[in-house]
Amino acid sequence: MSPMQDLGPHPDDAEPSSAGPPETPRSLTPLPSDFESDSPLSPQAPVRTFPNRSLVVLLVLGLLVGSLGGGVIGTALFNRSHVSLGKNTPAATTAASAGAATAASPLPQSAIAAIYQQVSPGVVTLQTSAGNPTPRSFSEATGTGIVVDSAGNILTNAHVVSGAQQVRVIFKDGTSTTGTVSGVDNSDDLAIVHVSGSSSELHPLSLGNSDAVQVGDTALAIGTPFGLSESLTAGIISGLNRSATAPNGRALSGMIQTDAAINPGNSGGPLLNAAGAVIGVNESIQSPIQGNVGIGFAVPINTAKGLIPQLEKGIAIQHPWLGISAQSITPGSASSLGLSEQSGVLVVDVVAGGPAEKAGLHASGNPDASDDIITAIDGHAVTTVEQLTAYLDTKKVGDQVTLSITRGGQHITVKVTLGNFQGTP
């Protein structure tokens, strides 16, 4: 049975990628600001990571159908660990595993070395801290950032700076300065940190075109895995149009998959192409061991480019939201569930007070109402949750969409005014 999903738009990858059909959404959790300790001032603070998202959590997230790029996990016992790449564990104890599972890159080593020399000055380490006098506690975390302009703006993941009271920005030459969080978008897991200083001290990276990325392309990642700053790993683009879950429960669609080693601490760092241009912001991994096993994910840089101007100004970013959880219908699931359609998107649940409920959509399994199966949106045929999500990603909050629905064997149309995604309750 196809997984279920929370449907809200995401400004990336509106069309199916050349990598093949979109994957079912995994329990992707941003790497805990990659390296983080948190304790009541105990001698050895435990490493805190984002929890592995189980089926139960996924089903809850599915109720928040805003911009999702995949399906919700249905009935399969599916519990893959996606670890957020944010806050790292102590470098002394984890250094041995930082370079594990590094894949081979199509580029010769000399070319990779040249790219590193050119690009690494524009990659920074972000050290965040927060404390609480009652009860006495203190936490520190380490992530990575990308210098995007000479005005002092640094792009990173939202989960890297989430909850930070202080942000320290450390450059390749060892100099450091205090950073200020200008804007955060938890729904895309992106943030901007601003630093003041001479533009000559900043080395902005070139932002590439993630729409041009193909499976098999060279992929290079620079960051601070396990607290080891300025680390480089190399591999290839191993998949496109993947799905993940943002810290606030919204689905991240169109994610770039790579086998270049990505570990806690890499969060917010650049994923580079063979020309040294940034094609993604490293965000999460899929792993049962909270370390790299060859499957890492990055937010497409084209998504970030569209949001950077707003993040720099601290403008709140809105994401259109349909307010349902949904599941792609296959012939097998149609037969098992006794559905009248062999394809389309089954409305599994409807968020109370959300746009879909206000428009009168029915949740599946309601004994007093027939199932709703979405077959088209604004005249565009829909056979999967991914297609529905991709279309929603092109809309704005307040836009009205027309859903073609099969209900109890009857074909009807329902107009829905899209709301603003609020996050997991």
Summarised one tens digit per residue, pLDDT across range 404-416 is 999 988 999 999 9
What are the beta bridge partners of residue 87?
A: 35
Q: For 111-129, how does the pLDDT look when each residue is reduced to its tens digit (9 = 90+)?
A: 999 999 999 999 999 999 9
CA pair distance 425, 411, nearest whole angstrom: 33
CA distance 220 to 257: 12
CA proximity to 128, closest of 76, 70, 174, 168:
168
Report the C-alpha gap between 53 and 91 in whole angstroms: 26
To the nearest whole number, what is the mean pLDDT of the chain? 77
CATH of domain 109-195: 2.40.10.10
Q: What confidence score (pLDDT) does residue 293 get? A: 61
Please, which residues bridge with residue 326 across strands? 5, 347
**Which of 82, 159, 194, 362 is labelled catalytic?**
159
Higher pLDDT, 102 or 274: 274
- Inform me whether the pLDDT recorded for 247 exceeds 90: no
Per-residue buried b or exposed e for 194-212, using 16+ beta carbons within 10 Å of the residue's own CB: bbeeeeeebbbbebbebee
Q: Tell me, what's the pLDDT at 6?
A: 52
CB 99 within 8 A of CB 228: no
Torsion of CA 271, 212, 151, 319, to 10 degrees: -90
Q: Is 64 or 68 the better-scoring residue by pLDDT?
A: 64
Distance CA 161, CA 380 (A): 39
Q: Which residue has the higher pLDDT, 340 or 5?
A: 340
Whether residue 232 is predicted with pLDDT greater than 70 in this model: the reply is yes
* Topology classification of domain 320-420: Pdz3 Domain (2.30.42)
Q: Which of 12, 188, 189, 372 is catalytic?
A: 189
Average pLDDT over residues 378-385: 93
406 three-state secondary structure: strand
Domain 210-301 bears CATH identifier 1.10.150.120: no
Domain ranges of the chain: 109-195, 210-301, 320-420
Mean per-residue pLDDT, 389-411: 92
**Model confidence pLDDT, tens digit, residues 29-67:** 445 444 443 333 322 222 323 323 222 222 222 223 333
In this chain, the answer to whether the domains covering 109-195 and 210-301 adopt an identical fold is: yes
Confirm whether 267 is a catalytic residue: yes
Which pLDDT band, with edges at 50, 70 and 90, does 243 fall under?
confident
Rounded distance, CA 129 to CA 137, Å?
Answer: 11
Question: Phi, psi at residue 17, to the nearest 5°?
Answer: -85, 165
Q: What is the mean pLDDT of residues 19-27?
A: 39
Active site residue 189: yes
What is the percentage of the chain residues whose pLDDT exceeds 90? 52
211 as an active site residue: the answer is no
pLDDT of residue 244: 83
Q: If you average pLDDT over residues 307-328, what whole number do you get?
A: 94
Using alpha carbons, list the distances in angstroms from residue 224 to 60, 86, 120, 357: 33, 10, 12, 45
